[in-house]
């Protein structure tokens, strides 16, 4: 078996039987014994690791029966397999930083004793996950990459990391642990007075629920650190009154406190920092400070009809009240040391473009930027390049730690390819890739008629009483309420969660599911990203998401932290084309379509409707209740005419007018 050639050379030139024994399962012991015999040769070990990474990831033994000749012919390999082959071959061309299959502790990653105290307080964190093994050492190296006193110096180096890893793989801890250690190593608790009253690190995320969850995780770690002063963590998000958040941040600034970690949604962060600076002015800031001081004095009286005497008012010195730092909040980010984007692909999308740009305008010109998500499609790389350029990145690192039975979405159009060619910062990134273990999520696809989905959901719940908690994703707010009512009439404890609810109601219903007070939670994609429900057994896709990447995030609510989970997807004839696109982009193999007894569909009609969905005929589809009803309750998401559809129709009409 050759070991002196690089893996890429082996793939091009070597016959198949010289790379791997034909009967891989029965010959695996031969490879392992050969691997053990080569322990004393570093060069040979490196080549063996590369070779095994490729062989295992691509499941070469499955390909043996597909080819009659012993030599691999690339043109005869299926397209999906070629895409995976290209990804893993690129990974194998780089030396592996470490053998992720060997036992390793958090201490081996370079974490210090202070942060290790916090790690040991987490009972389930017995050893680091693959993404933590890859990311933590790289992020710890950035503690001395940028000198905070020289953050505006053009000569100072800056770095960035963007990391793609499966849902539930421990990405939050992968950046939280090195972030806290780096801040502690910089001496955040002993900073001079001139550097106090600012924000040291900022974690941005797209949803309120995720902000609360991240803040809770980081706060728990900070409280368990063995340091004289525990890092200060603050969370800002929408859905609650703005003024208390402004007052809390202003108080910290006025007292000269450094907020070590600020977790925020981008829109609310901009509102808090710029509210009095741009929208209200100094006078309004002083009036708000005066009102707050009076209310605090009245509350101190301890009665509902309290009043203040003239002497008490004189003690308050209301004539000397300033704005309590409200108008200067906009400057708190000038000394920022770290920027973290959780669910970065969502934040880099068009929905958050203006809000993220507003945040970037408040940041220093150079600072380390860390981005984490379960999906980083090629389509966002031009935007990623803009953000990295804006934060002064000079040597970015890309980390990919994917499950062996999942694909990386590398779909690139011709127009996107031109944009990627101009993305200098992204294209210059060094890449660390590692195939992790197979996903712990069992995927099921059930063929159903559209009108049978609710009844099928009831049937599944009856057949599986062990499913104590079920998260069901639907397309619209109306669907969450409609299906919830039907489940309740059948005696099933269910509730709905969507963006129109206030924050207290959203958190309360999410907590009810976690505690088992309700069995089924019907939700829109507001809960598809980052939400961690420990031990959730089942996720159901009642409707398919519009974005294929959102499918990955939805099913990732189960099977987290190495536990087994099940994700069921209802596939109708109209959604068959979207399901096939999801399988093509994200799954190594298509899912077998199941048919529930009693829910059989007319095969001929199904095939006709499914083929129609593959054609993608443009146009709006409305429910039987009519257009007025659909406009009020959201209609059928994903089937309205897009801007491109309207342009095509206009061009077709214009061409028809010119026909003789």
pLDDT digits (tens, 9 = 90+) for 155-204: 444 479 999 988 888 999 999 999 999 998 876 444 444 456 789 999 99
pLDDT at 609: 86
Which one, of 333, 429, 562, 437, lies nearest residue 138 by Cα? 429
Q: What is the pLDDT of residues 108-122, one digit of tens each?
A: 999 999 999 999 998
Q: Kindly list the domain boundaries of the chain, sorted by start residue.
A: 7-92, 107-436, 441-617
Alpha helices in 93-225 (DSSP H): 113-120, 130-140, 171-185, 208-223
DSSP-derived letter for residue 272 is H
Q: Using the predicted structure, report yes or no on whether residue 452 has a pLDDT greater than 90.
A: yes
Q: Using the predicted structure, report yes or no on whether residue 439 has a pLDDT greater than 90.
A: no
pLDDT at 597: 92
Q: How far apart are CA 558 and CA 169, in angstroms?
A: 11
Q: Using the predicted structure, report yes or no on whether residue 335 has a pLDDT greater than 60.
A: yes
The pLDDT of 589-617, averaged and rounded, is: 85
Q: Using the predicted structure, report yes or no on whether residue 16 has a pLDDT greater than 80.
A: no
Comparing 339 with 621, the larger pLDDT belongs to 339
Which one, of 546, 501, 568, 522, lies nearest residue 637 by Cα? 546
Q: What is the pLDDT of residues 50-77, one digit of tens each?
A: 555 545 544 443 443 343 333 344 444 4
Would the pTM of this model clear 0.75, i.e. be above it? Answer: no
Comparing 15 with 31, the larger pLDDT belongs to 31
Q: Could you confirm whether domain 441-617 is CATH 3.40.50.300?
A: yes
The pLDDT of 302-317, averaged and rounded, is: 61
pLDDT at 651: 66
Give me the percent of the chain exceeding a pLDDT of 70. 64
H helices, E strands: number in the chain: 27, 15
Q: What top-level class would CATH report for the domain 107-436? A: alpha beta
pLDDT at 146: 47
The pLDDT of 574-593, averaged and rounded, is: 90
pLDDT at 247: 86
Beta carbons within 8 Å of 366's beta carbon, 6+ residues apart: 146, 151, 152, 153, 154, 156, 158, 391, 392
Alpha helices in 370-529 (DSSP H): 381-390, 414-421, 424-427, 453-463, 477-489, 503-515
pLDDT at 254: 82
Question: What phi and psi, each to the nearest 5 degrees, are found at residue 9?
Answer: -65, -40
Structural contact between residues 405 and 439, judged by C-beta atoms closer than 8 angstroms: yes
Q: Using the predicted structure, report yes or no on whether residue 150 has a pLDDT greater than 50.
A: no
| Residue 433 banded pLDDT, cuts 50, 70, 90 | confident
Q: How far apart are CA 112 and CA 105, in angstroms?
A: 12
CA dist 371 → 15, 139, 528 (Å) = 41, 11, 18
**Angle of helix 171-185 versus helix 208-223 axis, rounded to 10:** 50
């Amino acid at each position: 078996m050759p070991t002196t050639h690089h893996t890429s050379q082996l793939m091009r030139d070597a016959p198949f039987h010289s790379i791997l024994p034909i009967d891989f399962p029965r010959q695996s012991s031969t490879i392992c014994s050969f691997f053990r015999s080569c322990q004393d040769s570093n060069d040979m070990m490196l080549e063996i690791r590369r070779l095994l990474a490729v062989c295992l990831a691509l499941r070469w033994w499955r390909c043996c029966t597909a080819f009659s000749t012993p030599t691999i012919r690339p043109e005869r390999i299926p397209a999906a397999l070629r895409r995976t082959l290209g990804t893993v071959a690129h990974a194998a061309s780089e030396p592996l930083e470490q053998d992720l299959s060997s036992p390793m502790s958090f201490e081996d990653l370079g974490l210090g004793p202070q942060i290790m105290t916090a790690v040991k307080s987490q009972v389930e964190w017995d050893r680091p996950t693959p993404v933590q093994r890859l990311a933590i050492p790289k992020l710890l190296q950035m503690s001395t990459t940028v000198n905070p006193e020289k953050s505006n110096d053009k000569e100072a180096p800056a770095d960035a990391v963007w990391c793609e890893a499966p849902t539930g793989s421990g990405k939050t801890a992968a950046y939280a642990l090195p972030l806290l250690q780096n801040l502690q190593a910089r001496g955040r608790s002993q900073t001079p007075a001139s550097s106090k009253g600012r924000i040291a690190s900022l974690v941005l995320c797209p949803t309120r629920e995720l902000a609360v969850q991240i803040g809770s995780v980081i706060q728990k770690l900070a409280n368990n650190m063995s340091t004289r002063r525990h890092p200060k963590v603050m969370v800002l998000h929408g859905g609650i009154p703005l003024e208390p958040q402004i007052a809390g941040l202003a108080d910290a600034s006025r007292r000269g406190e450094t907020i070590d970690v600020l977790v925020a949604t981008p829109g609310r962060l901009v509102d808090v920092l710029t509210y009095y600076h741009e929208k209200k002015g100094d006078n309004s800031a002083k009036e708000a400070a005066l009102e707050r001081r009076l209310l605090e004095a009245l509350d101190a009286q301890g009665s509902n009809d309290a009043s203040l005497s003239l002497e008490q008012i004189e003690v308050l010195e209301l004539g000397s009240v300033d704005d309590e730092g409200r108008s200067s909040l906009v400057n708190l980010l000038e000394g920022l040391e770290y920027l973290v984007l959780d669910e970065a692909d969502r934040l880099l999308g068009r929905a958050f473009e203006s809000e993220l740009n507003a945040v970037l305008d408040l940041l220093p010109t150079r600072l380390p930027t860390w981005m984490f998500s379960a999906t980083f499609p090629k389509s966002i790389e031009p935007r990623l390049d803009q953000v990295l350029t804006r934060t002064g990145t000079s040597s970015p690192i890309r980390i990919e730690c994917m499950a062996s039975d999942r694909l990386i979405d590398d779909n690139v159009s011709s127009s996107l390819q031109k944009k990627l060619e101009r993305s200098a910062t992204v294209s210059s990134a060094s890449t660390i890739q590692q195939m992790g273990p197979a996903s712990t999520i069992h995927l099921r696809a059930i063929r159903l008629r559209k009108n049978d989905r609710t009844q099928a959901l009831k049937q599944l719940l009856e057949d599986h009483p062990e499913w104590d908690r079920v998260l069901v994703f639907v397309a619209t707010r109306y669907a969450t309420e409609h299906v919830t009512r039907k489940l309740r009439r059948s005696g099933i404890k269910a509730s709905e969660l969507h963006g129109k609810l206030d924050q207290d109601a959203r958190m309360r219903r999410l907590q009810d599911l976690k505690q088992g007070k309700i069995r089924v939670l019907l939700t829109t994609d507001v809960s598809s990203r980052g939400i961690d429900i420990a031990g959730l057994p089942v996720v159901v896709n009642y409707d398919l998401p519009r974005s294929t990447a959102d499918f990955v995030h939805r099913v990732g609510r189960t099977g987290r932290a190495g536990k087994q989970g099940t994700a069921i997807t209802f596939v109708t004839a109209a959604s068959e084309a979207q399901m096939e696109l999801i399988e093509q982009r994200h799954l190594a193999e298509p899912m077998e379509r199941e048919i529930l007894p009693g829910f059989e569909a007319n095969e001929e009609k199904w095939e006709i409707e499914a083929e129609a969905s593959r054609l993608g005929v443009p146009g709006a589809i409305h429910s039987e209740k009519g257009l007025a009803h659909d406009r009020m309750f959201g209609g059928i998401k994903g089937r309205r005419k897009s801007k491109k559809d309207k342009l095509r129709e206009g061009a077709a009409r214009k061409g028809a007018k010119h026909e003789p």
